[in-house]
Amino acid sequence: MSVGRRRDEGPSGFLVVDKPAGFTSHDVVDRARRWLGTRRIGHLGTLDPLATGVLPLAVREATKLVPFVEGGRKRYETTVALGAETDTLDADGRVTSRHEGALPDEASVRDALSGFIGEIEQVPPMYSAVKQGGIPLHRLARKGAEVERAARRVTVYRIDLLHFEGASVDLAIECAAGTYVRVLAADLGRRLGCLAHVAALRRTASGPFTIDAAETVEALDAAVDSAHVAERLVPATAVLGLPLLRLEPDEARRVLHGASLRAPAGAPMPDPGTRFSAVDASARLVAVLEVAPDRSLRPLRVLGSA
């Protein structure tokens, strides 16, 4: 008699972790699997080991929603060290070149920073998860390889200079997903002619997730002893931020089987492309629905519950 796989039941949603320095993003995922008793956990946007701050985790059914929430704006606070560049472009790396001359003054730094606002090009760093020929660049970098990388267009919405003192520059940055702060720091150093790298980096927001809602690893380690980690999950409907559409039981059953719903007769219907969070009678998320050109509501993503 064969034994089937046990269904992974339990609460779904998003857990916002304040990642500590020295942890990889996967280290946090492994920890969360123990906290919540499931392997169905994924992170939204990798943070380097040196970085701290907002690392959102999708739990159980919420993992299906990652494509809907992972591309939002990011906010960072960083300390840029002037005068040296490293192979990783941050303080965890080996210094590859030093500047021996005088360092720029604050006015020069402010002037240089203004050139990084808007749509800019960045070359992904060798120490990154970007793949080339199916192989992550960081694996090649650890073997001492350096390969050509195509520049990518990214958007920086604002940069605020928070503090300037000698070789240390504190910045607050708001940018689009896919922007490398390490590359921005290195490019700033090259533009100033003095070289630079990231000395410290903290993500304060990632899309709808903010540092105010983040839980420390220590707090979550303590909470797991009293089974309170699940209470820290943010409901998927709150994260998606879409209008709620309450389904009748027969409608929920149809959607769970992937069927579209007809638009209510005579009722005004939003423009095609408008999306809804469809919930059942218990307010559990059933699916993300989208208005089709024929006014039907088609499921983009179907969930058990989240």
Q: Give the pLDDT confidence of 220-241 residue by residue, as tens digits.
A: 999 987 778 999 999 999 999 9
Q: Shortest CA distance to 41 belongs to which of 267, 200, 295, 233?
A: 233
Give pLDDT, residue 84: 98
Give pLDDT, residue 2: 37
Residue 133 pLDDT > 70, yes or no? no
Q: Shortest CA distance to 261 belongs to which of 280, 279, 247?
A: 247
Q: What is the mean pLDDT of the chain?
A: 90
- 271 belongs to the catalytic site: no
CATH 3.30.2350.10 fits 74-206, yes or no: yes
| Residue 305 CA: distances (Å) to CA of 10, 235, 252 | 10, 10, 11
Phi/psi at 276 (5° precision): -135, 150
Q: Which CATH class is domain 13-71+209-237?
A: alpha beta
Q: Are 46 and 79 in contact (CB under 8 A)?
A: no
CATH 2.20.25.90 fits 242-302, yes or no: no
Residue 262 pLDDT > 90, yes or no? no
Same fold, 13-71+209-237 and 74-206: yes
Q: Are 245 and 277 in contact (CB under 8 A)?
A: yes
Q: Give the pLDDT confidence of 137-193 residue by residue, as tens digits.
A: 666 667 666 666 788 999 999 999 999 998 999 999 999 999 999 999 999 999 999
Q: Are 290 and 273 in contact (CB under 8 A)?
A: yes
Q: Given phi > 0 = left and psi -120 to 50 = alpha, else beta, which region is 18?
A: beta
Q: For the chain, what are the domain ranges?
A: 13-71+209-237, 74-206, 242-302
Kindly tell me the sign of the dihedral angle through the C-alpha atoms of 265, 268, 272, 278: negative
Which one of the listed residues 18, 48, 87, 187 is annotated catalytic?
48
Among residues of the chain, what percentage have pLDDT more than 70?
88
Give pLDDT, residue 127: 66
Residue 291 pLDDT > 50, yes or no? yes
Global pTM exceeds 0.85:
yes
